[in-house]
Amino acid sequence: MRAYVAAFASAALVLSPRMSASAGKRGLASSASDPPVPRRKGSSAAVSSRPPSAKSPKKPKPSTDEADKAWFDFFVGVNEEYRRYMREEWGVEKRGDQPLFEKLCLEGAQAGLSWATILKKRAAYRRDFKDFDIEYCAGMTEAEIEPLLGDSRSGADCIVRHKGKVLSVVNNAKAVLALQREAAACGSPPPPHGYFDQFLWEFVGGPTICYSFMQSCGLIVDHPAGTPEYEAARERLAARVPPSP
């Protein structure tokens, strides 16, 4: 099944490397991202500039609102849909060929755009690609694709009208079908979550093909350590039963 790595990667739209955003999320768990504190001229790290009798000022306790803020609030802002996605979906394991296929296609659509934009259009994508039915998407014809590119609707009511991105959905679906058929031809029982699911999850702990995709689907745990999302992911990881060989 690993022979499909090159074929699958070439069939899929090359995703935009959004490592700056990913690195920002990951950096929250590391003090290495904090800027260095400049020393006062003439001072030493070993000598305090306060008189011996001076007491350390008490740090104000954070307000309830500040304490309740999630680690991702700084970039989701007031976008409630984005916040709900980060709270309930990002980094949570996705299992099954169809959910993983959908996520792969949406990540491809994001290239050059923000995830908030794609999230706003997700319902339109599901409508136009029949909930990302793999067989339907693989069989889409030019006559079915053209209306999507010429859709006069705007905003959340239409997908990104970029021919290369739309065609990548079709190509991705064909690659997934080919993988499913070859795996089924081997005569082994279908894995519980599907052949595409098994193919992707084999890369956990291996080389990173698409870091953003792996993050959001929970193939790797990348929530900042100590957050509620991290603890929940750690519990899921401990409970995970390895697939049968």
**Which residues, 6+ apart, have CB-to-CB distance to 49 below 8 Å?**
40, 43
85 as an active site residue: the answer is: yes
Catalytic residue among 82, 90, 102, 115: 115
Query: What DSSP letter does each residue of 123-149 carry, written as one string?
Result: HHHHHHTTTT-HHHHHT--HHHHHHHH
Nearest to 165 by CA among 242, 104, 108: 108
Question: What's the helix, strand, coil split of the chain in %, to 5?
Answer: 50, 0, 50
Catalytic residue among 82, 85, 90, 195: 85
Catalytic residue among 82, 90, 102, 107: 107
The residue written with tokens 């490397």 in the block is 17
107 as an active site residue: the answer is: yes
Burial of residue 100 (number of CB atoms within 10 Å: 0-12, 13-18, 19+): buried
d(CA 12, CA 5): 11
115 as an active site residue: the answer is: yes
Q: What are the residue numbers of the active site? A: 85, 107, 115
